[in-house]
Amino acid sequence: EAQVTQNPRYLITVTGKKLTVTCSQNMNHEYMSWYRQDPGLGLRQIYYSMNVEVTDKGDVPEGYKVSRKEKRNFPLILESPSPNQTSLYFCATCDSSYEQYFGPGTRLTVT
Amino acid sequence: QKEVEQNSGPLSVPEGAIASLNCTYSDRGSQSFFWYRQYSGKSPELIMFIYSNGDKEDGRFTAQLNKASQYVSLLIRDSQPSDSATYLCAGLEGGKLIFGQGTELSVKP
């Protein structure tokens, strides 16, 4: 079954404690991206990756890092989380027709 | 700043009616548009995409694109309570999807 998985699904943490949200896909897609979704603001792209070792900033990259060491994985790293990073995060992959396949989402709360 | 605008709603229609969801975009370079449905607490799922002027139909859904007016719409015929969700419009520009804020649709039995 084609799928995008994210872990953890829910996370409550404290300001400044480094965390990583993992994303993995089994569709062999080259393009992967991370979005955050906030009420009234829709989906905003954080980072994207066109292929292994190729990453670029989206619209709201501040406070986030990513890496793409292998095709199937695209982790999102928050080195020093702050309360304004409390949000719902989605990982997505994209096929050649630009159809996006979203993961189930990670709800992050930073206190 | 390239933008995709949607009325956040909520849009309320009775069961069996036609729901009309609208989206405008600012970048004339946008070539393709996507409609996603998102149930509360779930991830977005693709309903339709359209890249040519005119209408595209798929079951109860019809997407309409008017590039001259920079306007995209989604019509849902015979609306069902199960159609109640947030509908996201997205435009493709330079290999990147720009999403609107989403329109919340409520279909009343």
List residues of chain A with CB under 8 Å from any CB of chain B.
35, 40-45, 48, 58, 90, 97-100, 102-105
Task: Name residues whose C-beta falls within 8 Å of residue A103's C-beta, 6 or more positions apart in sequence.
Answer: A4, A5, A6, A23, A90, A91, A92, B43
pLDDT at B28: 75
A4-43 pLDDT tens trace: 999 999 999 999 999 999 999 999 999 999 999 998 888 9
pLDDT, mean of residues A82-106: 93
Task: Name residues whose C-beta falls within 8 Å of residue A107's C-beta, 6 or more positions apart in sequence.
Answer: A9, A10, A11, A88, A89
Chain A residues within 8 A of B101 when measuring between CB atoms = 40-42
pLDDT at B2: 66
Q: CB of B8 within 8 Å of any CB in chain A?
A: yes
Instruction: Enumerate the β-bridge partners of residue B65.
Output: B54, B72
The tens place of each residue's pLDDT in chain B, 109 residues long, gives: 668 999 878 999 999 999 999 999 987 777 789 999 999 989 999 999 998 889 999 999 999 999 888 999 999 999 999 999 999 999 987 777 889 999 999 999 9
Pull the structure tokens for residue B17.
């009616």
pLDDT at B1: 61
Do the Cβ atoms of B49 and A99 come within 8 Å? yes
Pull the structure tokens for residue A111.
């206190």
Least-confidence region, from A94-98, A104-108, B14-18: A94-98
pLDDT, mean of residues A66-90: 97
